[in-house]
Amino acid sequence: MIKVFIGYDSKETVAFHVLSHSIHARASQPVLIAPLMLSELQDVFKRDRNALQSTEFSFSRFLVPYLSNYEGWSMFCDCDMLMLDDIAKLWELRDDRFAVQCVKHEHVPAEQIKFLNQPQSKYAKKNWSSVMLFNNAKCKALTPEYANTASGLELHQFKWLADDSLIGEIPHRWNHLVDYDPPAPVSELSLIHYTEGGPYFDAYKTCGYADLWFRERDAMLSAG
């Protein structure tokens, strides 16, 4: 069973459902998807919202190993994404040498503001945590207490690991940053990330690969 946690934001509900559909529609193995909804995490996640966080799941994503009982592997991804490939191919890349695996972007956004007038933060390892394969037993430092109290940089820059050698790399095609990374043929992309703003927001409805997202939404809604 491929266990996937998707960040859930009440302003992006449609994004969660379209991403979930795109995963299931292409998967060759059973996939269990769980939303990281703050309303369902009240007993363990008690952190006040930070002025710099742009989504409700900015920090709750680091509860994934705890929610998985620190057993086996789990995947996390932001909701503003679209799966174009079989998730089993990504799952096959799990490597027990590492505590976590991700795409190691060199992402320095130029803008100061992103979707819904949210601040655009700039820091080393930006967007590394937007797609993560967690080797849960090696992530026991990520307790609810730590997730509730650690700084944003401590969490997103993987300061909870002994050193960066425990961060494995996965191919860039599994977290393509739309309108930041150079455009690529769809055949070369597996998971696209509308990181500045998804096409479900009016201001971004003509962003790169928006047609793919609308096509997926229509397929999800089709009853025929």
Q: CA-to-CA distance for 73 and 98, rounded, in angstroms?
A: 11
Q: Are 182 and 114 in contact (CB under 8 A)?
A: no
pLDDT band for position 193 (cuts 50, 70, 90): very high
The larger pLDDT score, comparing residue 48 to residue 21, is at 21
The per-residue DSSP string of 70-130 comes to: T-SEEEEE-SSEEE-S-HHHHHTT--TT-SEEE---------SEEGGGEE----TTTTGGG
Q: CA-to-CA distance for 56 and 58, rounded, in angstroms?
A: 6
Q: CA-to-CA distance for 41 and 60, rounded, in angstroms?
A: 9
Question: For residue 54, what pLDDT is reported?
Answer: 76
Ranges of H-type helices in the chain: 13-26, 64-67, 87-91, 144-149, 152-156, 210-221
Query: CA 144, 145, 148, 151: dihedral to nearest 10 degrees?
Result: -120
pLDDT band for position 111 (cuts 50, 70, 90): low
**Superfamily in which the 2-221 domain is placed by CATH:** Spore Coat Polysaccharide Biosynthesis Protein SpsA; Chain A (3.90.550.10)
DSSP state of 157: T
In this predicted model, what pLDDT tens digit does every residue of 93-109 receive, in sequence order?
Answer: 999 999 999 999 986 66
Question: For residue 135, what pLDDT is reported?
Answer: 98
Q: CA-to-CA distance for 178 and 168, rounded, in angstroms?
A: 23
Question: For residue 132, what pLDDT is reported?
Answer: 98
Q: Are 87 and 21 in contact (CB under 8 A)?
A: no
Taking residues 206-212, what's their average pLDDT?
97
Q: CA-to-CA distance for 15 and 203, rounded, in angstroms?
A: 15
Q: CA-to-CA distance for 144 and 148, rounded, in angstroms?
A: 6
Q: Residues with Cβ < 8 Å from 194, sequence gap 6 or more?
A: 80, 81, 82, 178, 204, 207, 209, 213
pTM of this prediction exceeds 0.95:
no
Q: CA-to-CA distance for 163 and 165, rounded, in angstroms?
A: 5
